[in-house]
Structure 1
Amino acid sequence: MRAAEWNGGPNSVLGRAMTLLTAFRPDEVELSLAELARRTGLAKSTAHRLLGELTSWDLVECTPGGVRLGMRLFELGSLVPRQRGLREAAAPFLADLFEATHETVHLAILDGVEVVYVQKMESRTGPPVPSRVGGRLPAHCTGVGKALLAFSPPARLAAVVASGLHRRAPRTVVAPGLLRRELAEIRDRGVATEHEESGVGITCVSAPVLDAEGVAVAAVSITGWVNRLEPARFAPAVRTAALGIARTLRGGR
């Protein structure tokens, strides 16, 4: 989510507060009042007043250099039922997958046209992956995203295509027809692969976590160096982990 500009932005107090909270980018620990006002379009006096309210709820914290997000946001995020139940069900399977492969392991869900990473276990010897817990990436250029899209209602893919298949790396699939054909193949194979589509040097293999109706509720993947990780070799392990998570979520059925 990106902060809305004040010109045409929200008029409610809650909406203005949300523009402040969502102004932070993944690599930023803190921001100054002036920068927050610039990004949100709020007057400094308004931003200062709202930050005072947010501080009283521990949603932000004041630092010598400005403001940072508060611990209460982390606490609230950990209570979200869908992600909490999914993480708990997936934990032993992700741990086994990481131990067996020593590659970076992801668990992700689909939200709109993006994937949100619910869990990440990072390999010390793997490539730097542009993902983080709570972070987002476009669905069309990630292994987990393609696994989710392949086993989602057609409206999901239509929304992704309508939003634009932007090129993130040289091999990103940006042709709608090619993406549709690839998703059909993923439905046949039961696994998705990515070959330098989200970043140079990165490859991954992913499998969907399906509900009782065969719709993807999450996806599991392992990611590694393109010249070292063989997707076909690790596909069975990823599928086994996804099936185990699915059975756990369905109560063992």
Structure 2
Amino acid sequence: MTENGRKSSSVAKAFELMQLIADAGADGVGLQPLAARAGVAVSTVHRYTASLLELGMIERNANGCFRLGVGLVTLAGRYLEDDLLRTVAHPFLVELAEVSGETAHLGVPIGNRLVYVDKVESAKSVRLVSRIGSQVPMHCTSMGKALMALMPPEQRDALLAGDLDRPTERTRVGADLLAELDRVRAQGFALDDEENEDGVRCIGLAVVNAAGDPVGAFSVSAPAGRFSVEDCHRLAPKAMAIAARITDRIGYTGGPRRTTL
């Protein structure tokens, strides 16, 4: 959006061109016909299509015609996967909140951070302050550590590169964090023992997609004074069973899983 609240003409034109390319079907459309349909100069269309090609939003077929690219498929697939994850996981978040008496969250990874996409509040009067859409670090949260423990090493190492923030004195980094991820992988769940926020303790577990890749995670979080490490361990078997059920329902069909859930 521009400062006056109107949509960007450049973004609108790019989407108009992609719509025209989509309308052309599998055979695609050439540069000059596309310019004619869009009602703009060939040089303008060439500039836009060069950027869209570089981004993978469109591609050229053997005849040099434009058609939609795999970048759009990737984006659409991620949206559908996240939407399916929310739909499938929500009843289980309700169940976790009822069983534990505490707040249950669902999150998905975006870069080196985790975004809350669903939440079921505790019925207790003292609750955690969090909101859907907010972002938290991966390396010091239970959901983030549960996800990183199941990632391919190169993806995990990229997330851990550089200086990591230490929100509290208990935040693990470096060799301590790597050892913690090994424990998470072995036991099937992660703890945030006041590592992201003083006075808050969480247990988190990852879920995987049909390919066995970690795509999201859920957690139970509460004030540390009423949710001990022992409470987390007592809840773990129930949470692990729920993680397996969510995983099965979002399409995991067998083969070697990266998760130990």
1:179 match: 177
SS at 1:52 equivalent: coil
Contact kept in structure 1, 2:143 and 2:205, CA below 8 Å? yes
Q: Which amino acid aligns with 1:232?
A: H
Q: Which amino acid aligns with 2:196?
A: S
CA distance in 1, matches of 2:157, 2:223: 31
Q: How is 1:154-173 mapped onto 2 (pairs within 5 angstroms)?
A: 154-173=153-172
Contact kept in structure 1, 2:211 and 2:252, CA below 8 Å? no
User: Which whole-Å deviations, capped at 9, do the CAs of 1:217-253 have from their partners, x for residues lacking one?
Assistant: 2111101121221211111121111111001011777
Gaps of 5+ in 2: 9-77, 255-261
Q: Which amino acid aligns with 2:188?
A: G
Structure 2 residue 220 is matched with structure 1 residue 222: yes
User: Which whole-Å deviations, capped at 9, do the CAs of 1:116-166 have from their partners, x for residues lacking one?
Assistant: 111111214376545321211110010000000001111232122224310
Contact kept in structure 1, 2:147 and 2:214, CA below 8 Å? yes
SS at 1:80 equivalent: helix
Q: How many residues align?
A: 182
CA distance in 2, matches of 1:196, 1:110: 21
2:82 match: 83
Change (3 A) 1:125 1:138: same
CA distance in 2, matches of 1:155, 1:126: 43
1:52 match: 6
CA distance in 1, matches of 2:125, 2:203: 14
CA RMSD across the alignment: 2.2
Contact kept in structure 2, 1:150 and 1:186, CA below 8 Å? yes
Query: Which of the numbers 189, 197, 200 marks the counterpart of 2:198?
Result: 200
Q: Which amino acid aligns with 1:81?
A: L
Change (3 A) 1:84 1:123: same
CA distance in 2, matches of 1:114, 1:163: 14
Q: How is 1:1-253 mapped onto 2 (pairs within 5 angstroms)?
A: 17=1, 47-48=3-4, 51-53=5-7, 80-125=79-124, 129=128, 131-173=130-172, 175-229=173-227, 230-250=231-251
Moved over 3 A (4+): 126-131, 211-214
Contact kept in structure 1, 2:128 and 2:223, CA below 8 Å? no
Change (3 A) 1:97 1:217: same
Change (3 A) 1:100 1:242: same
2:63 match: none
CA distance in 2, matches of 1:147, 1:209: 9
2:56 match: none
Larger radius of gyration: 2
Compute the TM-score of the two structures, normalised by the length of structure 1.
0.66
SS at 2:124 equivalent: coil
SS at 2:167 equivalent: coil
CA distance in 2, matches of 1:92, 1:128: 20
CA distance in 2, matches of 1:126, 1:220: 22
CA distance in 2, matches of 1:112, 1:192: 20
Q: Which amino acid aligns with 2:164?
A: L
User: Which whole-Å deviations, capped at 9, do the CAs of 1:168-211 have from their partners, x for residues lacking one?
Assistant: 122111x3111111000111000100110111111011111123
Compute the TM-score of the two structures, normalised by the length of structure 2.
0.64
